[in-house]
């Protein structure tokens, strides 16, 4: 490991990369995770009002998540987008507790879409 101090350019690049990663993780939380939580609660028989109260969301947000079909998301095209995307599985496993639980949450979202939104899946 080198003892050389990073250059100003290195510092600026690290700051930009950090901001992009945090932005990407917030996007995952706002879309994939929140949507899965809402759909799972609704499949368990909770009303949208009960779900909103339980999850600390507005009823409007719950309704939006309930009406939006699950789909893979696009990632911005920058030089490290592929690398950033590699963190997705680890983030989802962290949020749900395991890879299996993360897959199950995604499957529940798709199940909700099939049953309630009548969306065909691939």
- How many structural domains does the chain have? 1
Look at residue 4 and tell me if it is in a domain.
Answer: no
pLDDT of amino acid 81: 72
* CA 43/CA 37 separation, integer angstroms: 10
Give the pLDDT score at 120: 64
Instruction: Report the chain's C-alpha Rg in angstroms.
Output: 18
The per-residue pLDDT for range 3-18, each reduced to its tens digit, is 788 888 889 988 988 8
24 domain residue, yes or no: yes
Rounded to two decimals, what is the model's pTM?
0.79
In a domain? residue 122: no
pLDDT tens, position by position, 26-82:
988 988 999 999 999 999 999 999 999 999 999 999 999 999 998 866 656 667 677
- Expressed as residue numbers, the domain containing 60 is 9-117
- Is residue 3 assigned to a domain? no
Instruction: Tell me whether residue 89 is in a domain.
Output: yes
Does residue 34 contact residue 65 with C-beta atoms inside 8 Å? yes
Q: What confidence category does residue 88 fall into, taking pLDDT thresholds of 50, 70 and 90?
A: confident
User: Which distant-in-sequence residues (6+ apart) come within 8 Å of 105 by Cβ?
Assistant: 33, 36, 40, 92, 96
């Amino acid at each position: 490991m080198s003892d050389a101090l990073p250059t100003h350019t290195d510092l600026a690049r690290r700051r930009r990369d950090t901001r992009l990663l945090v932005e990407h993780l917030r996007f995952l939380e706002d879309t994939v995770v929140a949507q899965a939580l809402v759909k799972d609660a609704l499949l368990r028989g909770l009303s949208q009002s009960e779900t909103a109260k339980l999850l600390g969301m507005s009823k409007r947000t719950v309704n939006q998540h309930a009406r939006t079909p699950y789909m893979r998301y696009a990632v911005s095209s920058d030089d490290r987008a592929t690398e950033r995307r590699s963190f997705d599985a680890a983030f989802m496993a962290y949020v749900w507790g395991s890879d299996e639980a993360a897959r199950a949450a995604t499957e529940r979202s798709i199940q909700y879409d099939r049953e309630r939104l009548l969306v065909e899946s691939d």
